[in-house]
Amino acid sequence: MTTLTAPAPSAPVDEAAVARRAAAKNRRRVKSVIFHTVAIIATVVVLYPAAWMVFASMKPNSDIIGNTQLLPDVWTIEHYVSALSGIGGVSFWTFFGNSLLLAALSVVGTVLSSTVAAYAFARISFPGRNVMFAIMIGTLLLPFHVTIIPQYILFNNLGMVNTYIPLLAPKFLAAEAFFIFLMVQFIRGIPRSLDEAARIDGCGHARTFWQIILPLMRPAIVTSSIFTFIWSWNDFLGPLLYLKDPSLYTMPIALRQYVDQTSVSDYGAQMAMAVLALLPVMLFFVVFQRFLINGVATQGLKG
């Protein structure tokens, strides 16, 4: 290592400066070692439950409890075989497909409704806009408890319980203020001169939105889509309230059913099912992590 930097010790250099630089470099290196030590310990602590879940799903049942070992002695895929065989006569892929369908439709609904709402808040002047914006932000702080009972009564009276409509309606009606807020912030960063140029060319709001703003909003749309997908995929209370028919169940509800039905000691199959239920979320995270983290960071900072 040193051979690269050391060939000129005889050259006329300021020795004091070299020494100072070396000391600074040393200090930096010590700090770096401390940083990585602490960060790696934290990583192990944080990742341990997830790693334990994955490895437990590949251990024989007798090794999951009463064992501190992380890695399996004997590797097995039997738990995945029984998880994939379905629950109560309904195939695993039905649940998986249901979750996928709901998540995909949720993304479509959220993107459609939130982008237009954000455009209105960010770019159109009309009476009552600021009051409505404030109300919208206020809904961020509203506990959901206060609406679930009347919403249930409403959907029950409309005969929509046991359909996906109660789970999708809020998405198509821009109920998630977080995404509107994220998109408003984003649109405010787009130069107004673009809108004005479009206006001069005779574009109304519909065309300005569709041809100018929407294409430029891609990062905000991607962030919102991923969050919507993950939140919809993980949602437990909504499907618990509204879905009664097992053939409509989503993964989290099926998973709960599975835990209730399988014998208490069949931990392996429960772990396998848990891993399968998280797989799409983790995949999305690995692919889109930068969008997610940037979205979260702007949420707290912009303004």
The span from the CA of 174 to the CA of 236, in Å, is 20
Residue closer to other proteins, measured from CB, 11 or 145? 145
Residue closer to other proteins, measured from CB, 12 or 128? 128
Residue closer to other proteins, measured from CB, 24 or 206? 206
- 209 binding other proteins? (CB under 8 A): yes
Residue closer to other proteins, measured from CB, 7 or 127? 127
- 24 binding other proteins? (CB under 8 A): no
3-state secondary structure at position 90: strand
Residue closer to other proteins, measured from CB, 18 or 93? 93
Site for other proteins in 258-277 (CB under 8 A): 259-260, 267, 270-271, 273-275, 277
181 to 200: interface string for other proteins, x by CB under 8 A:
x---x--x---x--------
Rounded to a whole number of angstroms, the minimum distance from the CB of residue 11 to other proteins is 30
106 to 125: interface string for other proteins, x by CB under 8 A:
------xx--xx-xxxx-xx
Q: Is 72 left (phi over 0), alpha (psi -120 to 50) or beta?
A: beta
Structure tokens at 107: 């993304």
Site for other proteins in 4-23 (CB under 8 A): none
The span from the CA of 278 to the CA of 266, in Å, is 19
3-state secondary structure at position 91: coil
Q: Which of 90, 169, 214, 216 binds other proteins (CB under 8 A)?
A: 169
Residue closer to other proteins, measured from CB, 18 or 297? 297
Rounded to a whole number of angstroms, the minimum distance from the CB of residue 254 to other proteins is 9
Q: Kindly report the backbone phi and psi dihedral angles of residue 87, in degrees, each rounded to the nearest multiple of 5, phi listed first.
A: -130, 130
Rounded to a whole number of angstroms, the minimum distance from the CB of residue 2 to other proteins is 21
- 301 binding other proteins? (CB under 8 A): yes
Site for other proteins in 71-110 (CB under 8 A): none
CA atoms within 13 A on the CB side of 71: 1
Q: Which residues contact 185 (CB under 8 A, 6 or more apart)?
A: 220, 298, 302, 303
Q: Which residues of 227-240 are buried (b: 16+ CB within 10 A; e: fewer)?
A: bbbbbbbebeebbe
The 10 Å Cβ neighbour count of residue 132 is: 14
Which amino acid is present at 242? Y
Site for other proteins in 48-67 (CB under 8 A): 49-50, 52-53, 56, 64-67
Q: Which of 71, 126, 202, 245 binds other proteins (CB under 8 A)?
A: 126
- 244 binding other proteins? (CB under 8 A): no
- 132 binding other proteins? (CB under 8 A): yes
Rounded to a whole number of angstroms, the minimum distance from the CB of residue 112 to other proteins is 8
- 299 binding other proteins? (CB under 8 A): yes
Residue closer to other proteins, measured from CB, 13 or 138? 138
233 and 99 Cβ atoms separated by less than 8 Å: yes
Rounded to a whole number of angstroms, the minimum distance from the CB of residue 232 to other proteins is 12
152 and 158 Cβ atoms separated by less than 8 Å: no
Structure tokens at 55: 């490895």
3-state secondary structure at position 126: coil
118 and 208 Cβ atoms separated by less than 8 Å: no
Torsion sign (Cα): 28, 29, 30, 34? positive
